[in-house]
Chain A
């Protein structure tokens, strides 16, 4: 609710208009019964036809006002709710742009997507109901109660007696339905999950002949979901008849009391008719109000999920220190230790090395040795737990984060491309790159040939999810993207893995020609990819197990030798 108010504040004027327009609606819905009752009491009794016709005209007049009010109401509702949804989406999106990897992983990309889109949509739907109903109901109820009381104080007492009952009822329903609704939502998530697992694992499931096991797993959740839904729907659909019955009992009471009053001559019949009509409308608005309560739990869950994102503090912040002077090109790790925010054990322990202008430094090691983590510390995807990472002699935490990242061309393990043309994707690295620069980068990255084979060449559109380029092509495009940037530091995080050996070799040959005084950092699985590096760093369980050239390491690092031996033939090992 707080979330909604926060955003509603931005649209005060529209909201006032919204409230105002509700009165137009109330005027007609309640005005008509009043006029009709007058017609009966005055027109019929006095047999005054001109009066009747005049009143008929009045009905048309207030109808126009009422309809104008309702249209205005519709306009305000639509404007406010769509604007609020837009603002929420925008804020969430902006927030996400400031988050660092640890927060991203904590919430999860899939969840962030639903939070930005679906949850905001839920809020919009809820806003719509609130602006229409929640504003309308109090107005309708209070106006009709005033009218009711004006008609007959005595009769209105009967209605007043039912009001607390209904309010209590609404609160109870809200209280009961909220946890059921949350459970139902959770169960739906599980159904979703299992079904997605079924889809993604289709070959594995079939090869294990585990169809019935999957059906069983699915059915457990399916039954659970059914039970929750049944509860929820039964609760929801029984509230209406019960509330109606309560109101109806009041109606009977009113007729009873009214007949005594008429017997005494204390109440004109026309008034009774009007009274019943007000009653009818008041009842209707109370029922509409129930809808708000029914939608509230779901909207509340969404609001909580959105708040969670908005309230997340980015773990990595930009606090550049004035006066930190950059020296010549270098990347230095000074006794770096790193523990993942939710981890227990250190992924990196006391890692130190230096890379200078023009050097290529490679990292190799077993799965889980921390090599990918290590290079993620340079563009500040994460901050070190202790020790220092220095770029050009300045601690990265004291540099302007954007200036730091401008120095880096990073090619990740899993290359992501964006929808747009191939040229757009390469220009992602440098917006103002000329056509020649783009083509050159593509050539160096061994991407030129396959790009030219596409029907539209560089103007070929990359589909959403980049389904129309293969894994290897994606990697080459993302390398071209880094090249066009002409950064000071290149980081290749296992980015040759999807290339066959031939392309890999040719690409490395071309890259070597391109480099002058840049620093190149490579993480790789293949010894062949890194053999020529100026320095190879062997990592094992987060610690440096060896440092040196290929030849030096073959001689004095057992782990490196084992890795090399598993990949190279004996002649090749001996040849070295």
Chain B
């Protein structure tokens, strides 16, 4: 996420998500305020009891006849006190419930919005954004935000409120002592500033080291095979240990420095309490304040100390919450791909003709394709061949409008694909990629994914067509067998067959196989192609293949080099031409004239 959004956008965005739950929030906040107000009143009320008792005790001590504790008054104050306690507990409970409901619903909405956003972002977006970053936005960032709102929000509100109310209450008791006690504030601010800046840097470093550690572990676990076979276990452990040790040290520093804040703030509080106690006692002796007030006053200093010593912790949480907010809304404000034009092609008029008309394209500034032209008729099988990086897959990405052309146009059934609604355009295609994508779920669900309303017999039919039915039947749970998260319980070849079955089920006008059978052995590949040809009768198909032997029967072979089509024609035509195709084709066999092939 390189582009940062402003705070204004973030706050606005959060408020928009909070809006549906505003009543809940209002109730919760009101309750928080109520409970804080009561909390700050408690010491005063308790002080009243103490004063009353002290006065009565003094009278008893002095031996005034008939002196005794004024129970009626004490009971009265105690009733007030217990009412306060109960109301406060209730207020806290109510606010917790309302707040939790509101916040968790909000988080649900934000996660949902992010998921929907992902589907609307152009594919280009994912070229410059690592999956890990995007993923961490939905999980870690939303989680951070949720925790911050759930805990920090109330803490900040009560902290500030307590702070203000406590100071007011303190002033009411005695302003001289209050001024004395308020020395805490600038001192604490100073200490906090001193430490927070430093610890923030250390925490940042810790975070960076965590990332580094994660990277190292990922790499070393991923390279497990190599490490084992090259007997590199000891070296690897050394490499890991190096980062691990740095991780320990940076974590230690961050923790230790941040743990210093609390004792330093507390020290000031302690000393202030000591000073207040001395001054307070003297004032009591002078008769300026009552003993209960002194008790209350000291309790108030403890109460201020609480939010103050949490400042460091809270500020870290607030900072990370804001960082998370920034990332979330940067993501939500990313530009979406347009949904395409309004030109419809009637379902019965969809033929599957494809025209590339002087197409230019490049991922960056430089053009990869300078002038691509082709004309594919309905029902043709088109093979695309060429060395790695020649732009074979790019051609298909353009056809599906994962990227837009930079010049020229692509027409399907005579309509510029930019004028078609995206959904309609994509409904015409089935795409099978080399990187098989399956999700955690049963094999049945995975095939049915091609057409969600397919009947069971249609699903099985597609599996049979893809030559994978037999394999599925050998699994212990047949079509209900689960594909696990890593999808490593079935082989790559079997996965490719499943994705082909899925594509067949969709029954599209145009089928694209992008190295779709690279992990299937050639014999099976051949059988598959024959089956496909049956399926694809009257439909257009594009096949990208490494193995030239499997595409000999194509109606049209396009030979790509450095982004452009250098030759096109049928197998025989191209062989006769004795050009690049002929050389590529023959280089399958060892030792033959590959040296002259540039």
Contact = CB atoms under 8 A, between A and B. Distances in A.
In this complex, the member of A211, A367, A562 whose beta carbon has the largest number of chain B beta carbons within 10 angstroms is A367
Contacts of B591: 505, 509
A124 interface: yes
A252 B57 contact: no
Contact of B237 (A49, A94, A234, A344): A94
Contacts of B111: 191, 218, 222, 225
B112 A56 contact: no
Interface stretch (B245-253, B359-367, B456-464): B245-253
A207 B431 contact: yes
Interface string A76-108: 011101110110011001101110010011001
B2 interface: no
Which residue, of B213, B259, B400, B499, has the highest number of chain A Cβ atoms within 10 A? Answer: B259
B240 A93 contact: yes
Decide if the interface of chain A is mainly helix, strand, loop or mixed: helix
A500 B387 contact: yes
Contacts of A73: 259
A429 interface: yes
Interface stretch (A109-117, A137-145, A327-335): A109-117
Interface string B35-72: 00000000000100110011011001100000011010
Interface stretch (A265-273, A350-358, A384-392): A265-273
Given A368-B493, A567-B549, A32 B590 contact: no
A505 B594 contact: yes
A28 B262 CA distance: 14
B197 interface: no
Nearest to B274: A59
A44 B281 contact: yes
Interface stretch (B88-96, B177-185, B369-377): B88-96
Dominant SS at the B interface? Answer: helix
A428 B589 contact: no
B457 to A, nearest CB: 20
B210 A117 contact: yes
Contacts of A200: 131, 435, 437
Interface string A494-507: 00011011101110
Interface in A379-405: 379, 381, 402, 405
Nearest to A211: B119
Interface in B78-97: 78, 81-82, 85-86, 88-90, 92-93, 96-97
A367 B270 contact: no
B97 A109 contact: no
B266 interface: yes
A74 B108 contact: no
A359 B224 CA distance: 28
Nearest to A245: B89
Given A215-B112, A262-B56, A470-B388, A203 B433 contact: yes
B439 A201 contact: yes
B520 interface: yes
Contacts of A559: 523
B547 A526 contact: yes
B54 A263 contact: no
Interface string B257-294: 00110111011001101110110011011000001001
Interface residues of A, number: 168
A241 B88 contact: yes
A182 interface: no
Interface in B102-136: 103-105, 107-108, 111-112, 115-116, 118-119, 123, 126, 131, 134-135
Contact of A75 (B68, B256, B299, B550): B256
A520 to B, nearest CB: 14
Contacts of B549: 566-569
**Interface size of B as a range:** 35 or more
A207 B587 contact: no
Interface in B280-327: 281-282, 284-285, 291, 294-295, 298-299, 302
Contacts of B433: 203-204
Contact of B69 (A201, A262, A381, A497): A262
Contact of A226 (B96, B108, B233, B589): B108
Given A75-B256, A566-B550, A263 B69 contact: yes
Interface string B220-237: 111111111111110111
A468 interface: no
Given A83-B248, A110-B486, A568 B588 contact: yes
Contacts of B228: 379, 381, 405
A508 B282 CA distance: 98
Given A36-B277, A56-B275, A528-B590, A74 B259 contact: yes
Nearest to A217: B439
B291 A233 contact: no
A408 B229 contact: yes
A511 B43 CA distance: 87
Interface string A362-386: 0001111100000000010100000
B426 A207 contact: yes
B259 A28 contact: no
Contacts of B302: 280
Contacts of B338: none
A312 interface: no
Contact of B291 (A40, A197, A214): A40
B411 interface: no
A249 B86 CA distance: 9
B237 A93 contact: yes
A406 interface: yes
B57 A269 contact: yes
B271 A113 contact: no
A77 B550 CA distance: 66
A429 B56 CA distance: 91
B293 to A, nearest CB: 12
Nearest to A79: B252
B568 interface: no
B535 interface: no
B93 A238 contact: yes
A63 B270 contact: yes
B503 to A, nearest CB: 9
Nearest to B508: A207
A562 B270 CA distance: 89
18 contacts: A40-B291, A52-B281, A56-B274, A82-B249, A200-B131, A204-B437, A204-B499, A206-B119, A249-B82, A251-B81, A252-B81, A273-B50, A368-B491, A379-B229, A405-B228, A412-B226, A497-B518, A501-B548
- The 9 A-B residue pairs with the shortest CB-CB distance, nearest first, are A367-B493, A74-B259, A59-B274, A63-B270, A241-B92, A237-B96, A70-B263, A78-B255, A86-B248
Given A66-B263, A509-B591, 10 more contacts: A40-B284, A77-B255, A85-B248, A240-B92, A248-B82, A252-B78, A272-B53, A367-B521, A502-B594, A528-B588
